[in-house]
């Protein structure tokens, strides 16, 4: 099992560009999550999906959209990137009370 | 307002020292997690606790539900233990985890 995978690992964008961060899990988990991690702050929830076909906003959803394509995949889209979205992004899946994290995507917006 | 507070923020220790990292939280929880994040690396779950104490190798995690407090101990610390340790809680209600800001540990040979 690969667990939770994310692509890309690194990305540099110019302000205003768009991109999609991909996440997939092979553990057949219903719940999936997108977090961002910034220096001096804890992980903050952007969006989550409790099950296939449903998505909900987390703590910091502005500037992002998500798609739960199927049970395996949960993508995060930045329609018009801003420097404030420079961060490390983590995808996670959850089974019962246990959380499994992907390796992260380091995004820089210039 | 931080639902989860960790201390210390930074910690430097000599190899072999006993290390304690503390986590206090303000909400009722169904579980508490200790996570490890190596520099440039992903996040790994070390422990999930809802009561008592768990031990894995040189790592020990304890939780006091009444006092809303957990500790992570590392015995006989080693440079490879250098990482950021994050406390996270799952509230009784709602879907969201709350995360501490992490404790950055450096173990010097």
Q: Which of A42, A90, A98 sits opposite B48 (nearest CB)?
A: A98
Distance between CA atoms of residues A56 and B107, nearest Å: 40
**Long-range pairs of B64-72 with CB within 8 A, sequence gap ≥ 24:** B65/B29, B68/B24, B68/B25, B68/B26, B68/B29, B69/B22, B69/B23, B69/B24, B69/B25, B70/B22, B70/B23, B70/B25, B70/B32, B70/B34, B71/B20, B71/B21, B71/B22, B71/B23, B72/B20, B72/B21, B72/B23, B72/B34, B72/B46, B72/B47
Instruction: Give the chain B residue nearest A99 (alpha carbons).
Output: B45
Residues of chain B found within 8 Å of residue A9, distances taken between Cβ atoms: none
Q: How many residues does chain A have?
A: 110
* Cβ distance of B2 and A42 shorter than 8 Å: yes
Residues of chain A found within 8 Å of residue B92, distances taken between Cβ atoms: none
Tokens of B26: 């303000």
Residues of chain A found within 8 Å of residue B95, distances taken between Cβ atoms: 31, 48, 50, 56
Name the band, by pLDDT with cuts 50, 70 and 90, for residue A100: very high
Identify the pLDDT of residue A58.
Answer: 92
Identify the pLDDT of residue B38.
Answer: 87
Q: Which of A40, A44, A97 sits opposite B48 (nearest CB)?
A: A97
Indicate which of A4, A7, A39, A42 best probes the interface with B, i.e. most B CBs within 10 Å of its own CB.
Answer: A42
Name the band, by pLDDT with cuts 50, 70 and 90, for residue B96: confident
Identify the pLDDT of residue A32.
Answer: 96
pLDDT digits (tens, 9 = 90+) for A9-33: 999 999 999 999 999 999 999 999 9
pLDDT digits (tens, 9 = 90+) for A47-99: 999 999 999 999 999 999 999 989 999 999 999 999 999 999 999 999 887 88
Tokens of A60: 């910091």
Alpha-carbon distance B39 to nearest alpha carbon in chain A (angstroms): 12
Phi, psi at B8, each rounded to 5°: -75, 175
pLDDT digits (tens, 9 = 90+) for B21-48: 999 999 999 999 999 998 877 899 999 9
Residues of chain A found within 8 Å of residue B88, distances taken between Cβ atoms: 42-43, 99
* Cβ distance of A48 and B97 shorter than 8 Å: no
Identify the pLDDT of residue A71.
Answer: 95
């Amino acid at each position: 099992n690969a667990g939770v995978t994310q692509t890309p690992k690194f990305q540099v964008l110019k302000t205003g560009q768009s991109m999609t961060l991909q996440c997939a899990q092979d553990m057949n988990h219903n719940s999936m999550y997108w977090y961002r991690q910034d220096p001096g702050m804890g992980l903050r929830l952007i969006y989550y999906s409790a099950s296939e076909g449903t998505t909900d906003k987390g703590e910091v959803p502005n500037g992002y959209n998500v798609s739960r394509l199927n049970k395996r995949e949960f993508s995060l889209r930045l329609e018009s990137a801003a420097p404030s979205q420079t961060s490390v992004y983590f995808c996670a899946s959850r089974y019962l009370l246990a959380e499994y994290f992907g390796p992260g995507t380091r995004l820089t917006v210039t | 307002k931080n639902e989860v507070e960790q201390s210390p923020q930074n910690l430097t220790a000599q190899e072999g020292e006993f290390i304690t990292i503390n986590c206090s939280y303000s909400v009722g929880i169904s579980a508490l997690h200790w996570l490890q994040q190596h520099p440039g690396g992903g996040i790994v779950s070390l422990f999930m606790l809802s009561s008592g104490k768990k031990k894995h190798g040189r790592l020990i995690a304890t939780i006091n539900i009444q006092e809303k407090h957990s500790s992570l101990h590392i015995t006989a610390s080693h440079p490879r233990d250098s990482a950021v340790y994050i406390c996270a809680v799952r509230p009784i209600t709602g879907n969201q985890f709350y995360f501490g800001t992490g404790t950055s540990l450096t173990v010097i040979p």
